[in-house]
A and B are shown apart, each in its own frame.
Chain A
Amino acid sequence: FRFKDSLAEELQSADLVISHAGAGSCLETLEKGKPLIVVINDKLMDNHQLELAKQLHRDGYVLYCNCSTLVETLQSMNLSALKPFPPGQPEKFASFLDKVFGLQ
């Protein structure tokens, strides 16, 4: 398909996700608890996008490769070594703001 408003349905039923390094894609997938392989496009060098993918890989949440190493990665991957991704904590932000405004 071309563009859909939301891939939530597909994500829900997937066993493995292979994605580009976009933050939205990565985070949405990790939050649904799906194993993720991030494929870096070496030619798109605008790459602050890479920062997040690299960090997620360093922390053990995703696998990481480029287009030419994708097949090899798929063949040798160990998905059970991936760590579960803990959710963010907006309540810490709320707490912080409350302190700033003396609302606590």
Chain B
Amino acid sequence: TGGHTTEILRLLSCLSESYSPRHYVLADSDKMSEAKIRSFEQKRAETFSESQFSLDRIPRSREVRQSWSSSVVTTMYSILYSLPLTYKRKPDLILCNGPGTCVPVCLSAFLLGLLRIKRTIIVYVESICRVETLSLSGKILYYFSDYFIVQWPDLKKKYPKSVYLGRIV
């Protein structure tokens, strides 16, 4: 969604073509991100003509301020929905930065790893908005990601297993 998409596209901006093809996963209710992504990929195709990408949509796992108990149910539904997608794509790398959408995708990849079907490296980059506290997605994925990147030093102190590279968006 919105700010998350802008941030993640900035993260992608300096990646080489080794990180290809790119599969974007969006919440079904997200209207604006698709346009931003297509615009980014179009520009990229000007430099890297072999550039490939795809877009998939999954049900949104949680609305803003949705209650805890119903969030667990909707997230589990989203994990079930994500499993076939993650199984089909078998990504080497999942890169995410915080919207609720990323939790089920990452958990489904983690599960496929446990089942020895595909080992995916999960890299989580917490949003630049998060200076002192982690988002809910961050709190969950801190334990499931291979690399957890924060953009402010306070968070690095609070979450010592995280990686601090300074501001990267």
Q: Mark B1-43, 1 if CB is under 8 A from A, else 0.
A: 0110010001111111011000000000000000000000000
Query: Is A54's CB within 8 Å of the partner chain B?
Result: yes
Count of chain B residues with Cβ under 8 Å from any Cβ of A? 34
Is B129 within 8 A of A93, CB to CB?
no
Of B12, B125, B129, B133, chain A has the most CB atoms within 10 Å of the CB of B129
If A51-B133, A88-B168, A92-B165 touch, does A27 touch B128 (CB 8 Å cutoff)?
A: yes
If A94-B15, A94-B16, A97-B123 touch, does A51 touch B166 (CB 8 Å cutoff)?
A: no
Task: List, in ascending order, chain B residues with CB within 8 A of A96's CB.
Answer: 147, 149, 163, 165
If A24-B3, A97-B19, A103-B16 touch, does A90 touch B169 (CB 8 Å cutoff)?
A: yes
Min CB–CB distance B19 → chain A (angstroms)? 7
Task: List, in ascending order, chain A residues with CB within 8 A of B127's CB.
Answer: 23
Residue of A48, A51, A93 touching B11 (CB-CB under 8 A): A93
**Which residue on chain B has the smallest CB distance to residue A23?**
B129
Is A51 within 8 A of B14, CB to CB?
no
Task: List, in ascending order, chain A residues with CB within 8 A of B132's CB.
Answer: 51, 55
Query: Is A44's CB within 8 Å of the partner chain B?
Result: no
Is B165 within 8 A of A93, CB to CB?
yes
Count of chain A residues with Cβ under 8 Å from any Cβ of B? 23
Is A52 within 8 A of B129, CB to CB?
yes
**Which residue on chain A has the smallest CB distance to residue B2?**
A24
Min CB–CB distance B44 → chain A (angstroms)? 14
Is B14 within 8 A of A93, CB to CB?
yes
Task: List, in ascending order, chain A residues with CB within 8 A of B15's CB.
Answer: 94, 97
Is A51 within 8 A of B129, CB to CB?
yes
Of A23, A51, A97, chain B has the most CB atoms within 10 Å of the CB of A97
Lowest 5 CB-CB distances: which A-B pairs, in order?
A94-B14, A51-B131, A88-B167, A23-B129, A93-B168
**11 CB < 8 A contacts A-B:** A48-B130, A49-B129, A51-B131, A88-B10, A88-B169, A90-B168, A92-B168, A93-B149, A94-B14, A97-B15, A97-B93
Given A88-B166, A96-B147, 10 new contacts (CB under 8 A): A55-B132, A55-B152, A88-B10, A88-B169, A92-B165, A93-B149, A93-B168, A96-B165, A97-B123, A101-B93
Chain B interface residues (CB < 8 Å from chain A): 2-3, 6, 10-16, 18-19, 92-93, 121, 123, 125, 127-133, 135, 147, 149, 152, 163, 165-169
